[in-house]
Amino acid sequence: MKKRATLLLAAVALFAVAMAPPASGAVERPDQDLLIVSGRGEARVTPNIAVVRLGVESRSARAAEAIQDADRRMNQVLQAIRAQNIPERNIQTVIYNVSRQYRPRPQDDQRPPELEYVVTNIVSVRLTDVNRAGAVIDAATGAGANVVQGISFQAENETAAREEALRQAARDAQTKAQTLASALGVRILGVDQITESSGPVPLPQPYGAVVAEARIDASAPVMPGENVIQANVVVRYRIGR
């Protein structure tokens, strides 16, 4: 009898614990119905910086000869670039490579293939005046640069454009959410979570070197156009009836 009474009291105690309200701060949030939408926005900004990538490529059957020739020609190219009043801090080596490759030959050449050493030295030149890109390329190719990889354009301050792209993305997400909620007969109760990403739209970059066959006229038109800044957001809305 005493044993039964003890078991009964234990069961009552467990039931009381189970039915007791949770302690402060431990209240469980009931599952929420969510509506998840994405938004996209973009803004445009006029670039004020041009970055030119150029340099030299030398070939020889001996590595030492290819390196010496590349170094000699690159020093001449750098002197020509400095003569354009480009600060040293705006000139940076981005590629220095020594490789062994088969010498290019016509398809009808039946001689055995020959290996040669190829030395590539490329620098990037940062210009704060985008209109000077043609003159810098002309000076460099005139001094011996035989590789011009291209020009890219940047905007020094993209903050305002990035903020505008985010505002557009947020409005886009909100419009989608309101449209879906109206169509489904539900109400938007609030925002549960927001994630975002933003940045400039990547432009196609040249793969490998483009050998310059001739000098580029300093008056050749270089058009910076506009850079596109994109923003994307994903918003989770709480919804109810």
Fold match, 30-46+158-210+227-241 / 47-154: no
Rounded distance, CA 48 to CA 172, Å? Answer: 30
Domain 30-46+158-210+227-241, CATH homologous superfamily name and number: Protein of unknown function (DUF541), domain 1 (3.30.110.170)
pTM of the model: 0.65
Would you state the pLDDT for residue 15? 41
pLDDT tens across 19-50, in order? 444 443 333 345 678 999 999 999 999 999 99
DSSP string, 37-93: EEEEEEEEE---EEEEEEEEEEEESSHHHHHHHHHHHHHHHHHHHHTTT--GGGEEE
- The tally of CA atoms less than 13 A away on the side-chain side of residue 67 is 8
What mean pLDDT value characterizes the chain?
Answer: 82
CATH top class, domain 47-154 = alpha beta
pLDDT tens across 77-107, in order? 999 999 999 999 999 999 999 999 888 777 7
Rounded distance, CA 122 to CA 81, Å? Answer: 13
| Tokens (6 digits) for 47 | 């670039």
pLDDT tens across 105-138, in order? 777 777 778 899 999 999 999 999 998 999 999 9
Beta-strand relationship, 91-102 and 147-154: unpaired
